[in-house]
Amino acid sequence: MASDKQLVIGLFGFGVVGEGLYKVLQQTPSLNARIKKVCIKNPHKKRNAPEELFTTDRDVLLNDPEINVIVEVINESEPAFYIVSTALKSGKEVVSASKKMIAEHLPELLKLQTETGISFLYEASACASIPVIRNLEEYYDNDLLHGIRGIVNGSTNYILTKMFEEKLDFKQALLQAQQLGFAEADPTLDVDGWDAVNKWVILLLHAYGIVSHPNDVLFTGIQNIQGSDASVGREKNVEIRLVGQAKKLQNGKVAAFVLPQFVKHDDHLSFVKNEYNGAVVESSFSDKQFFYGKGAGSFPTASAVLSDISALRYDYKYEYKKLYYHQPNELTNDYYLKVYLSFDDWNYIPKDKFEWIEEWHAESDRKYLVGVIHASELKQNNWWRENGTSLILSPEPVIEDVEVRKLKKKSLELAGLNFN
């Protein structure tokens, strides 16, 4: 189909992103796209658009034969899946920003795309204005991609930046983020890491052809990070970020997790502050490449949606080459992580689960240790998320192919710990 294709859009959602898209489309007449109808939940809310544009009946959009593109930017996962799946089955192309819906329904969405042959694009679901999905999809070959690391949640990054640079405690930084609109009134999805892991599941598909679910990935958020953790970071000349990582191991499998991490000042991710997002992609011949941009807000997210709408003019669709044309990689939890752990009481810490401990500090009310632990211990248990325990990865956290068990007893003795 030619690039002069007329795009008639049915838009679901007119919040921050939906209204941003409406305004952006008004400023880009060359795109040859227009919004015919917008479906909303609350008809009584005042909106900056003509009243006749809106409806509360989703079928008005889904059953309109003139509408050939559905753009979905709502927050609720199951209604979003219904909208997307119904639209694809009806032959309408779809653009979505709903990372939770996509991450929880990857197998069904992949099957629908195969069965219908219809485009389903979702660049805005991962890093807002940063085109990381399309770059992973088109530019980086599976066999050559060593790893990807990223800060993919602007709310938590804003909070950590304020805790570190202005020495605010967690509650103060969260309140400031809420007042500025960078965090929701109920910040659980952001703060507990769910938003970031949803995005990471999507990136794993395009980086390595891995079809997974958020529950398959080791993750936590920043809910237990303490002011004392930031103080330790300053002493060690590192900063704290919530970082998603996927790393190809020597056995060809992929270690993937979303966890707080100490980052050095020469790390690209240390430059990603406040509500910004960033990603570092490492491959065999291009070394490291750094993507940086705003990760939240009306226009940054709307710009990614607009990019997908523009791509539909040329009938662009994801080919999922790494899933369908290469041998897909496999997730594994068979590796070790070097972690910093702070806590109030030794009794909450199963010390015998550590392979070795390099540092331990028990002279203050808030105690901490630095040690090595198997990733499966963290994936299968919750003690490290409970009782105010704070876990932060070291700057180079992944350890493979080490005879850790032989070193375990001696290392613990050197640390002066009696675990009997």
Percentages helix, strand, coil for the chain (3-state, rounded to 5) are 40, 25, 35
Over its C-alpha atoms, the chain yields an Rg (Å, rounded) of 23
For β-strands 287-294 and 367-374, DSSP reports them as unpaired
> For residue 298, which phi and psi values (nearest 5 degrees)?
-60, -60
Rounded-to-integer distance, Cα 207 and Cα 319, Å: 13
**Which contacts qualify for 230-236: CB closer than 8 Å, 24 or more apart?**
230/163, 230/164, 230/167, 232/340, 232/342, 232/368, 233/164, 233/262, 234/164, 236/262
Which residue, chain included where needed, has tokens 């700057």? 395
Q: Which DSSP symbol is given to 127?
A: H
Q: Is 5 a catalytic residue?
A: no
In whole angstroms, what is the distance from residue 405 CA to residue 356 CA? Answer: 8
Q: Report the interhelical angle of 77-89 vs 106-116 (nearest 10°).
A: 10
Handedness of CA 297, 32, 34, 76 (dihedral sign): negative
Contacts of 177 (CB under 8 A, 6+ apart): 155, 158, 159, 162, 183, 187
CB 358 within 8 A of CB 411: yes
Beta strands in 76-216 (DSSP E): 93-96, 120-121, 145-151
Which residue has tokens 């530019």?
139
Residue 392: φ, ψ to 5°: -135, 130
Q: Which residue, 102, 331, 320, is CA-closest to 216? A: 331
- Both tokens assigned to 333: 């939890």
d(CA 167, CA 239): 12
Which 8-state DSSP code applies to residue 331?
B
Kindly name the residue from 92, 100, 199, 338 that is annotated as catalytic.
199
List, by residue number, the catalytic residues. 199
